Amino acid sequence: MCAQREPASLRRCGCRPTLKGRKKIAAPPFYALHYVPLARKNFGGVKTNLRCQVLDKHHEPIPGLYAAGELTGMAGGHINGKAGLEGTMLGPALFSARVAGAWAAYEAGYGKGFAGKADCR
């Protein structure tokens, strides 16, 4: 990258990435990976009630709007509380998705909502 195009912080600190010691890729096939950093854990997010309905600024449910998982902060409505450690987010995220889906279906006229019991048919 041309020095004029590099961020000033890289030019100042001298921590510019180097290709020294790397193998040259000269012959196809060439492959590329689009890498995008992402948050793995969220301790904020959209406020929801126990039915995973999104709440407005007055803490009232917004009709027809549900949210689940990381979007709701701490994997689904703060299920883990302050003990949200790495590896503890997937289960609550899936659980909150099930709750949100069941109540959204109920609001649309399908099903009985979520009663907290396994559906053993």
Q: What is the pLDDT of residues 39-88, one digit of tens each?
A: 656 567 788 888 999 999 999 999 999 998 877 865 545 566 666 666 66
| Predicted local distance difference test score (pLDDT) of residue 2 | 46
Report pLDDT for 1.
44
Residue 96 has a pLDDT of 85
Report which residue type is found at 121. Answer: R
Structure confidence at residue 25 (pLDDT): 78
For the record, the structure tokens of 58 come out as: 């007055």
pTM of the predicted protein model: 0.56
Q: What is the rounded average pLDDT of the residues 95-110? A: 91
Model confidence at 112: pLDDT above 60: yes
| Residues in CB range of 101: below 8 A, 6 or more apart | 66, 68
Cis peptide before 92 (omega within 30 of 0): no
Of all residues in the chain, what percent carry a pLDDT higher than 90? Answer: 21
Number of residues assigned to the chain:
121
Task: Read off the DSSP letter of residue 48.
Answer: B
Residue 94 in tokens = 């899936």
51: its two tokens? 């039915």
What is the chain's mean pLDDT, rounded?
75
CB burial string 89-119: b at 16+ within 10 A, e below:
beebbebbbebbebbbeeeeeeeeebeeeee
pLDDT higher than 90, residue 89: no
